[in-house]
Amino acid sequence: MNRIHLFALLLAAAFLSSACSSTSNTSSSQQPDPEDIVATIGNQPVLIDDLISYYERNNMETDYTVKDLREFLPYYVEYKLKLAYGEKNGMLEDPEILSEYETYSRQAALSYWLENEIRQSMVDQFIERSRYELKSSHVLIQLNENSRPHEVEEALVNITEARDKFLNGEATMEELDADYSSRVQGRSVGGDLPWFSAGVTVKPFEDVLFSLEPGELSEPVRTQFGYHIIYLEEKRERTPDRMTSHIFFRSNRDNLSAEELSNQAYEALQADESWNDVVTEYSQDGASANRGGEIGWVGYGSQFAQDFVETVIAINPDLPFSEPIQTDYGYHIFKIDSVRTFDSEEQLRDEFTERFRDLPRASASREQVFEHLADIGQFTLNDDTSDQLRSSFSAADTTSLTQMNLSGDLRQAPLVSFEGQTYTTGDFLNWLIETDSNRRANNFSAIWFDLYENHIIEEHLVKMTREHFEDFDDEIAGFLNGLVVFQISDDNIWNAQTADTTALQAYFEENRENYQFGERYDYTMVSSTSDSTLQVAMDRIRSGENPLDLTEEFERLFVARDSVASPAEEIIEQIDQLSPGEISEAFRYRNRNSHLIFNQMLEPRQMAFDEAFYRVSSDYQPVREEQFLAKLRDEFPVETFPQRIRLSHTQ
């Protein structure tokens, strides 16, 4: 196995998902079978189960062999050696590492809820809704996210008035649409909607619609489009989609009308001419003609107009083709290639799961997780206490929150309860001050309560995830170990600044032939976002001024000198047209007008140590690693027992 590849796997495992604990502690009553110990590090055993678990998490193949595990053992031992060093030196309690671990744990917890519960519940809901299709109508008063408060309030008053009229029998939905819905280019944005199923409308609209019973009118609902009231007319089981092909006739040809052409094509089909030949000869739908007339799945909620869908659904799928039919598009002869059916519930779920993944809503959010956790933990805001607090903020006017003088009773009053824990008004006030000490009472907003809710839930996030998902602790434990191993490797192997300069210098001298400059292009790039600035600067450069000196005078002038063996293609194109000392014409480079000054072609030469420093440091890393591991083996004696890895362990 490739050493670098294995080391990368070890690190990836540590960072992402290793379930191996940092030590293999065993009690006196639970001593491991000696045949299960494949190595010892100091006085700690390394068990075959740990090795296999680690290997399986970092290798795709499932048919690994004893040879694979035995080759992997030395690298796993090196990982465990570094971890033992980290434990001994208190790195598992290092504040910086723990802070990063805490951040990761919260992110991992969020991902766990999203992947294992939130997203799956969304898929389940979508699948269940997709079994049905609904017929509805709505009234819509348009708003956008920048609408002013008085506009929002006016829209809510009007939509509520429309709802009351319907419930009182004073108007139909059609009449309310005409009277209340917004209009764009003279046409209502509300009104009658076609039959459709889940995934067609925005989710807030869909959520309300699917909560209604036939004949029921919704409360006002706000979506990204504005305020709606929604009336559910009918609900039925989903009509299967149909894979449809057609021969299409839109306009006259050869002095024949579209209708006459469709009849002529129909007669050709009845005379046993092949479908594909008739499509090729007659169809005026060029896009589908190349596919034998196929236009795809047609069903309610598809991209086709409802009248067109109704026409296709009404065709007997057992017929080889339909008679010519007129729609709003033109004349068609249809052929139903298949009706969508599912052989099993699993097949249905797979199909609609794939459809769900294509929806914008499939990207579950942090807010959805927090809403879910608020329900689980029974998050409750005490209305009486929050009202008293609002009144206190109002009475305090412009007083800074740091000077708020709440009464003792109010300060101790319970404001929030969550996960069996109570948070007082004083807790809330302290949090407000900690997060922004400049807040003033008269700036109070209800969003402060929302932010505090998020803060409390985030405090409980990792704990609740541990309680809800048994394997979560194993996942995040691996990351803490990985952080420690990464820091150890960075401090002792990778970081050039911690290397022994004398040793690097000696390595450089021994391998000087590896540190050579090849032939290089030496050039200066002058560019600016201002054409006038660039013109003035170039005039002065041509008169002999140093380009680098001009950057202090012109704020929007960028000058950089470089010498590289392989410049960008755009730079090579300019240099190829120049001789040393010449200046290019203006050209675009990285979205700025630029000029290139070709200084010279540099000859190959030996690098100085300072010039080669980072390359030498990189090349010297394997030596540093061997030296460091040798030191660790002295500190934590290692013994390995690869012969104890047997065929039975791979089965």
Taken in order of first residue, the domains within the chain and their CATH numbers are 132-237 (3.10.50.40), 242-339 (3.10.50.40), 377-468 (no CATH), 516-606 (3.10.50.40)
Tokens 């499939």 locate to: 362
Indicate whether 1 pLDDT > 60: no
Whether pTM > 0.75 for this model: the answer is no
Backbone φ and ψ of 524, nearest 5°: -120, 130
pLDDT digits (tens, 9 = 90+) for 531-575: 999 999 999 999 999 999 999 999 899 999 999 999 999 999 999
pLDDT value of position 362: 83
What's the mean per-residue pLDDT of the chain? 91
pLDDT value of position 650: 62
**Region of poorest pLDDT, from 11-20, 91-100, 111-120, 426-435:** 11-20
Indicate whether 623 pLDDT > 80: yes
pLDDT value of position 255: 80
Identity at 428, one-letter amino acid code: F
Q: How far is CA 378 from the centre of its chain?
A: 29
pLDDT value of position 406: 84
Question: DSSP alpha helices (H): ranges in 242-313?
Answer: 258-270, 275-282, 286-289, 306-313
pLDDT digits (tens, 9 = 90+) for 214-233: 999 999 999 999 999 999 99
pLDDT value of position 363: 77
pLDDT value of position 139: 98
Would you tell me how many other CB atoms lie within 10 Å of the CB of residue 572? 11
Q: What's the per-residue H, E or C state across 611-640? A: HHHHHHHHHHHHHHHHHHHHHHHHHCCEEE
For residue 364, what pLDDT band results from cuts at 50, 70 and 90?
Answer: confident
For residue 651, what pLDDT band results from cuts at 50, 70 and 90?
Answer: low
pLDDT digits (tens, 9 = 90+) for 438-496: 888 888 888 899 999 999 999 999 999 999 998 898 778 788 999 999 999 999 999 99
pLDDT digits (tens, 9 = 90+) for 52-98: 988 887 777 778 899 999 999 999 999 999 999 999 999 999 999 99
pLDDT digits (tens, 9 = 90+) for 10-36: 333 343 333 344 344 444 446 889 999
Cβ contact 221:227 at 8 Å: yes
pLDDT digits (tens, 9 = 90+) for 269-312: 999 999 999 999 999 999 999 999 999 999 998 889 889 999 99
For residue 649, what pLDDT band results from cuts at 50, 70 and 90?
Answer: low
pLDDT value of position 646: 85
Cβ contact 268:321 at 8 Å: no
pLDDT value of position 202: 93
The C-alpha atoms of residue 77 and residue 54 are separated, in whole angstroms, by 11
Q: Identify which of 241-250, 405-414, 434-443, 641-650 has the greatest average pLDDT.
A: 241-250
For residue 253, what pLDDT band results from cuts at 50, 70 and 90?
Answer: confident
Indicate whether 190 pLDDT > 70: yes
**Region of poorest pLDDT, from 242-246, 374-378, 441-445, 562-566:** 441-445
User: CA dist 479 to 16, 19, 58, 440, Å?
Assistant: 6, 9, 14, 41
Identify which has the larger pLDDT, 405 or 163. 163
Indicate whether 332 pLDDT > 50: yes
For residue 419, what pLDDT band results from cuts at 50, 70 and 90?
Answer: very high
Backbone φ and ψ of 335, nearest 5°: -135, 125
User: CA dist 159 to 148, 219, 224, Å?
Assistant: 17, 9, 16
